[in-house]
Chain A
């Protein structure tokens, strides 16, 4: 397979991420080095300030919670003002020097990162896993997003891809991707509802499957509703308990909360197949918190959270103009759909048993892989397949009176466009400002600000004369593009975009370059580590050599020199300078000084061998080349 042909499908999830590709006629997930398919979307800084991603990062959530971050998807495309709720429930720490109107930055240890940068680290891990698997570079991907993600959240995801060194060919909505995996080999026709309840987001999509065409009719959801909310509820109850029973207020203890969270998640999972589960947490300070949770109690607790999925489902059905009986199949996606109560709720809503054959953790990634395959040209099995998706939110312009004028309605098939005409109010005016929003409400302030567009270069004319045609286009990714032209002069207007919650192109470019820098830094770190290891090898060998009687055969001067260099090397190796070159120099010097010693030892080994004695100290297979250095001769 030519390296340019590799396009992978990536599920960048709130809790777990996966990368997959099309292997022949079926999509498969590419495992990590540890052999596991799921890469937890967790990023941490270890003791040596190195980035750790995935399973290896999880322990830091408990050990050093201020140096680890999880569920960063909840922050993508959002501003500091509107994540106040998240900050109460999640241990996110904002950068101390965050300015008004600046893109969000989170603290991990001493460093700060924007959410797209953190997501980029997860993506880079997946990219590495894929490259290891293929033995070739991977630079193209399809990445999934919740169907209900707005423009800013989508753009943030694309930015993350770019920072990770991936060309994101398409963003695919998660329920649509799942339907691709579902409908791939079944050639099913009919109406399918996809109920996707993940770690942090909820989507409901209603699709019409028809001769290989996957047409989304309506979609709805909640981008802040998922398994995390169930966890947080249970954590709050546990903290309450602990306050009452043990008189301890542990809400502020990062470590305690992290341990409770881990226990709560284990209990939650157990209750999907057991009637009771036991919460058992070792609290810092020696005390222990224990509680038994019954399935009934658990279901009562989570009822209000689960009920939040009902509204979007009903609205989606209404928008689709369908009754529940008209749905042919319901597909469940997302880990949280394993909860029996959720399954019952879906069953009640749609009056049928949901389809549970597909692995709810993997189905989205598999669907993304199918789409990646289609974009790469496809094959016989995907020949007739086409995705027709929709934009989940209405697009509007703010007009006089602070009202939103909707120009593209929600659930419009994308790509979709609308054209508006503007003129100037003042003689000679050369700029026109447009405020674009997303949402269903009447007033601009109740909608989500997408961006402010400044149309520049309008030829100066009398007020009211220019006829500026502005074209709004929502592309297949669900992201807005704007172009403008003054019709009388035919002049293309230059558009300056100020995204309300996003990074500018320049910022993304800088981050991409910085990620190379970090790669540099990480690379240098690795060099130091390797040099230290080599130093250890030679010092160990030297220690052994001192017990060999060859040590007696060298001169006093030589012994003294060797021991001085040995001390020097130990000092520079253990020092805090991380000076790769100094360690390297020390190794070379010691090697040089011990050359004769090594030769003598080799001769001894040879002569001993000739005498027929056991060679437990000399490895005669690894015969070192000229310059018998200590490091190369194996004395293990």
Chain B
């Protein structure tokens, strides 16, 4: 059931649904709502992706510009905006990480990595963005970076050290395991959050924990990328 809030239909006057009138079916002017509301889903992080997909197809059939090939200019314009919102919403909610990041944004929290200011400053000065090393990885990261530097030097000299490659390979595996584990940790936080949506408990703490998980995960992702590059 798309959109909880309803407004008066411009065509038949009934109080209809957000995207189109439930009485006469005419497309409505787009209203800025968040993606969860757009789909008529609660702001919960565990999401039935099959149900989401079904709703996406159903809404697409009603809102896509092709369906309005013979309609008035105004309706065509509205359908264009509505369907772009639909696609943006679907794309965001479909992916677990994007969904989490979106929710955080809705709650007013920005991930460290994504901070626009930090990005712009980094680009302007040419410096690398400051990435906080997750404390539990400090030793591992230090050792790995040393190995990677060694590897780069060796490559330049044209040398080959299978022992070093093996070490790095092991470190890489360990990181990948941690990377996957973090997704599970995130899902634990999801469950906590979803409970609060119904109960209304201390949500801020849970959000902060989610931020922490994502930051750690992003850090490892970037590190793995460096490892892969160095090993090529």
Give A contacts to B, CB under 8 Å.
169-170, 210-211, 213, 371, 374-377, 384, 386-388, 399-401, 403, 412-418, 473-476
Q: Which residue of A lies closest to B120 (CB)?
A: A400
Contact of A386 among B66, B81, B84, B123 (CB under 8 A): B66
Contact between chains at A400 and B84 (CB < 8 Å): no
8 closest A-B pairs by beta carbon, nearest first, are: A375-B69, A415-B84, A401-B123, A417-B84, A413-B87, A476-B65, A415-B83, A400-B124
Q: Kindly list 17 other residue pairs between chains A and B, CB separation below 8 angstroms, not including A376-B70, A415-B83, A416-B88.
A: A371-B66, A375-B66, A377-B69, A384-B61, A386-B64, A386-B67, A388-B60, A400-B120, A401-B124, A413-B87, A414-B84, A414-B87, A416-B84, A416-B91, A417-B81, A417-B88, A476-B65
Contact between chains at A213 and B120 (CB < 8 Å): no
Question: B126 on the interface (CB 8 Å rule)?
Answer: yes
- Bound state CA distance, A399 and B81, in angstroms? 26
Instruction: Return chain B residues, CB-CB under 8 Å to A415.
Output: 65, 80-81, 83-84, 87
A387 to B: closest C-beta gap in Å:
6
Q: Which residue of A lies closest to B80 (CB)?
A: A415
Chain A's interface: helix, strand, loop or mixed, by majority?
strand
B151 to A: closest C-beta gap in Å:
24
Contact between chains at B60 and A213 (CB < 8 Å): yes
Instruction: Return chain A residues, CB-CB under 8 Å to B80.
Output: 415, 473, 475-476
A4 to B: closest C-beta gap in Å:
10
Instruction: Return chain A residues, CB-CB under 8 Å to B142.
Output: none
> If A413-B91, A415-B80 touch, does A376 touch B123 (CB 8 Å cutoff)?
no
Q: Which residue of A lies closest to B57 (CB)?
A: A213
Question: B183 on the interface (CB 8 Å rule)?
Answer: no
- Bound state CA distance, A137 and B84, in angstroms? 34
> If A414-B87, A473-B84 touch, does A374 touch B69 (CB 8 Å cutoff)?
yes
> If A213-B57, A399-B120, A400-B124 touch, does A376 touch B69 (CB 8 Å cutoff)?
yes
Instruction: Return chain A residues, CB-CB under 8 Å to B213.
Output: none
Q: Which residue of B lies closest to A210 (CB)?
A: B57
Instruction: Return chain B residues, CB-CB under 8 Å to A375.
Output: 66, 69-70
Instruction: Return chain B residues, CB-CB under 8 Å to A384.
Output: 61
Question: B85 on the interface (CB 8 Å rule)?
Answer: yes
Instruction: Return chain A residues, CB-CB under 8 Å to B69.
Output: 169-170, 374-377
Residues in B47-90 with C-beta less than 8 Å from chain A: 57, 60-61, 64-67, 69-70, 80-81, 83-85, 87-88, 90
- Bound state CA distance, A363 and B10, in angstroms? 42
- Bound state CA distance, A412 and B86, in angstroms? 12
Q: Which residue of A lies closest to B70 (CB)?
A: A377
Contact of B123 among A403, A413, A473 (CB under 8 A): A403
Residues in B68-122 with C-beta less than 8 Å from chain A: 69-70, 80-81, 83-85, 87-88, 90-91, 120
Contact between chains at A170 and B66 (CB < 8 Å): yes
Contact of B66 among A210, A374, A413 (CB under 8 A): A374
- Bound state CA distance, A377 and B65, in angstroms? 12
- Bound state CA distance, A374 and B80, in angstroms? 17
- Bound state CA distance, A403 and B129, in angstroms? 15
Instruction: Return chain B residues, CB-CB under 8 Å to A400.
Output: 120, 123-124
- Bound state CA distance, A403 and B91, in angstroms? 25
Q: Which residue of A lies closest to B87 (CB)?
A: A413
Instruction: Return chain A residues, CB-CB under 8 Å to B81.
Output: 415, 417, 473
Instruction: Return chain A residues, CB-CB under 8 Å to B90.
Output: 413
Instruction: Return chain A residues, CB-CB under 8 Å to B91.
Output: 412-413, 416
Q: Which residue of B lies closest to A169 (CB)?
A: B69
A399 to B: closest C-beta gap in Å:
6
- Bound state CA distance, A210 and B70, in angstroms? 25
Instruction: Return chain A residues, CB-CB under 8 Å to B85.
Output: 417
19 example contacts (A-B, Cβ-Cβ < 8 A) are as follows A375-B69, A375-B70, A376-B70, A386-B60, A386-B67, A400-B124, A401-B123, A401-B124, A412-B87, A414-B87, A415-B80, A415-B81, A416-B87, A417-B85, A417-B88, A475-B65, A475-B80, A476-B66, A476-B80
A51 to B: closest C-beta gap in Å:
32
- Bound state CA distance, A80 and B67, in angstroms? 39
B71 to A: closest C-beta gap in Å:
10
A437 to B: closest C-beta gap in Å:
15
Instruction: Return chain B residues, CB-CB under 8 Å to A399.
Output: 120, 123
> If A400-B123, A412-B91, A416-B88 touch, does A387 touch B66 (CB 8 Å cutoff)?
yes
Instruction: Return chain B residues, CB-CB under 8 Å to A388.
Output: 60, 64
A63 to B: closest C-beta gap in Å:
44
Instruction: Return chain B residues, CB-CB under 8 Å to A376.
Output: 69-70
